[in-house]
Homo-oligomer: A and B are copies of this chain.
Amino acid sequence: VLKLLADRSLDSLSLREIAREAGITPTAFYRHYHDVEELGLALVEESCRSLGRTMQIAGTHLTSSEGAVERSLGVMVGYRDDHMSHLRFIVRERDGGLRRVRRAIAGRLHLMADEVAVGLADGPGRAGWSLQDRRALAGLITETFMRMLADLLVADPDDETDIVERTRRRLRVIGVGGTAPGDAAHSGDGAEPLDGR
């Protein structure tokens, strides 16, 4: 089914097309799923399982040392390489036409952010942050990774370095991932021109 979804959104597919692609009769399909939406929910589970594992690993790496951020970014690029069809499904259907599918993806992304938030409890400069603020920070990190993944999904090979670099810098500005902005000794970009976004 994910093969069919490479070019089309879930709500544009009929049950009959899906059954044909899967090589089964519509009747056999109905034995498994009530409708296309229910199939979508099963795909959410499958896709978000792999993404959730990846977010968790990337979140664990996100401590304050620069090498760790590189590992974190590497984990994300690896996810794009290994789970293209899962990623494409999540990126498209999270804003797609099927309400229950959308809500299921949103719910899973919130859970992922919550797991990232747990790891942020004791970060430097975050003493006294409320649970809510840590969650907001974790939400920002999760969305920054999601944006990177969506960009990487359709990127020309030439653009990949820029996309990763942009993400690295955003994480730094959020306050995870090494040297804080303004510390010119380490940021190494004082005089750079209009590139690298």
Contact = CB atoms under 8 A, between A and B. Distances in A.
B174 A140 contact: yes
Contacts of A154: 95, 99, 102
Interface residues on A, range: 35 or more
Contacts of A153: 95
A95 B9 CA distance: 12
Interface string A146-180: 01001101100000000000100110111000000
Contact of A169 (B7, B126, B136, B181): B136
A133 B169 contact: yes
A95 B173 contact: no
Contacts of A99: 154
A23 interface: no
A100 to B, nearest CB: 12
Contacts of A151: 106
A131 B8 contact: no
Interface stretch (A39-47, A68-76, A184-192): A184-192
A110 B166 CA distance: 11
Contacts of A196: 132
Contacts of A110: 197
Contacts of A189: 130-133
Contacts of A169: 132-133, 135-136
Interface in A105-158: 106, 110, 113, 126-133, 135-137, 139-140, 143-144, 147, 150-151, 153-154
Given A110-B197, A128-B182, A181-B129, A147 B143 contact: yes
Interface of A: 7-9, 12, 91-92, 95, 97, 99, 102, 106, 110, 113, 126-133, 135-137, 139-140, 143-144, 147, 150-151, 153-154, 166, 169-170, 172-174, 181-182, 184, 187, 189-190, 192, 196-197
